[in-house]
């Protein structure tokens, strides 16, 4: 009797945390890590070495070798490829329309990222509000509390959450004990239980009345540069902006100029428009409290993300229902 061929799953990055789940997957599927060194080499190997892969496992750093999963890349994937299982919540690097046209299902990992990203958003919010980054830089330069501006307390301030999804709601819950009054803007108002006391407002009202604006919308054609110079002009003088979503939701150059002028008091940023490149004005401004896209950078969260992506890949390969198909492909 001939041996049963295991379905092939191509990992664009190795699993680093959910190793036991990887071992379990490897017992029922042929798992292998991408060895292509360039986009062109990958295209060529899709005709030979990878001609029968069934699923791709991707991460936010999977595009370093092949570039974005755009229409060109999707059209070069082998006909056997039926699933792209991404281990992050955001999937703006993947052309969903091109995948749908090819009959490729795309999954993401929205739930595991919620707590870690919300925790980091609150850290950046408080750090920016208290104006801590200039103090940190001054301390490391050997100065002790010299020429430092004062920060602000959160109590009584209005927090405007742009995008009240899983992460936005988690940020709201974490900010309640600090005495912040939360308002939010979404495509649609939430139920009273989901809003948990936050008031639904128009986009303009959020811009005009918030002391702090925290961004939690996905990046797509409709949200790119959702906040630009015109929107910043509507904000309160001395507003604080926090972004842990995607950098290009905000016009980074306009934000940097407004920070330089003092229109924006401070920013707390985990994401940037052209990562890893960061606007030069932001880099020079100590009131920009910045970290290098670490929203989910914890052992526990990454293990959950990896596990969910691998489970989606396993289910796809064996004809089971996928857990987290991206919204655009849900009928």
Catalytic annotation, residues:
246, 275, 293
> Strand pairing partners for 199?
183
Contact of 183 with 199, CB cutoff 8 Å:
yes
Closest CA to 52 of 74, 72, 30, 73: 30
Counting Cα atoms < 13 Å in the Cβ hemisphere of 139 gives: 5
Residues 160 and 263: their CA atoms lie apart, in Å, by 17
CA-based torsion, 113, 173, 184, 225: positive or negative: negative
Alpha helices in 185-251 (DSSP H): 192-195, 203-209, 229-234
Question: How does 126-141 read in b/e, with b if 16+ C-beta sit within 10 Å?
Answer: bbbbbbbbbbeebeee
CA 181 to chain CA centroid, Å, is 25
Neighbours of 313 (CB within 10 A): 27
Place of tokens 């059209």: 75
Cα angle at 24 between 20 and 28, to 5 degrees? 160
Contact of 248 with 224, CB cutoff 8 Å:
yes
Alpha helices in 152-296 (DSSP H): 166-175, 192-195, 203-209, 229-234, 252-261, 280-284
> Strand pairing partners for 264?
239
Residues 246 and 210: their CA atoms lie apart, in Å, by 20
Q: Give the tokens for residue 183.
A: 């308002």
């Amino acid at each position: 009797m001939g041996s049963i061929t295991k379905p092939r799953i191509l990992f664009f990055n190795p699993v680093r945390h959910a190793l036991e789940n990887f071992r379990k997957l490897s017992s029922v599927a042929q798992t292998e890590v991408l060895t292509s060194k360039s986009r062109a080499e990958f295209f060529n190997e899709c005709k030979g070495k990878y001609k029968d892969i069934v699923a791709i496992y991707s991460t936010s750093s999977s595009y370093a070798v092949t570039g974005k999963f755009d229409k060109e890349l999707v059209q070069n994937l082998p006909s056997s490829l039926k699933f792209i299982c991404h281990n992050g919540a955001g999937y703006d690097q993947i052309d969903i329309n091109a995948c749908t046209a090819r009959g490729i299902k795309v999954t993401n990992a929205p739930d595991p990222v919620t707590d870690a990203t919300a925790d980091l958003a609150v850290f950046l919010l408080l750090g920016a509000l208290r104006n801590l980054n200039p103090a940190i830089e001054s301390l490391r330069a050997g100065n002790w509390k010299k020429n430092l501006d004062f920060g602000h307390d959160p109590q009584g301030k209005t927090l405007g959450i742009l995008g009240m999804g899983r992460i936005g709601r988690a940020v709201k819950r974490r900010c309640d004990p600090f005495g912040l009054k939360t308002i939010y803007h979404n495509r649609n108002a939430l139920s009273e239980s989901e809003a948990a006391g936050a008031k639904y407002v128009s986009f303009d009202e959020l811009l005009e009345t918030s002391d702090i604006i925290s961004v939690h919308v996905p990046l797509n054609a409709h949200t790119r540069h959702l906040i630009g110079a015109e929107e910043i002009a509507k904000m309160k003088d001395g507003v604080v902006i926090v972004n842990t979503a995607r950098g290009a939701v905000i016009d980074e150059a306009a934000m940097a100029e407004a920070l330089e002028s003092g229109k924006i008091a401070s920013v707390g940023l985990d994401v940037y428009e052209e990562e890893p490149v960061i606007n030069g004005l932001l880099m020079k401004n100590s009131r920009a409290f910045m970290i290098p896209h670490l929203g989910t950078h914890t052992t526990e969260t990454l293990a959950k993300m990896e596990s969910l992506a691998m489970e989606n890949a396993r289910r796809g390969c064996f004809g089971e229902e996928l857990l987290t198909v991206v919204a655009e492909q849900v009928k």
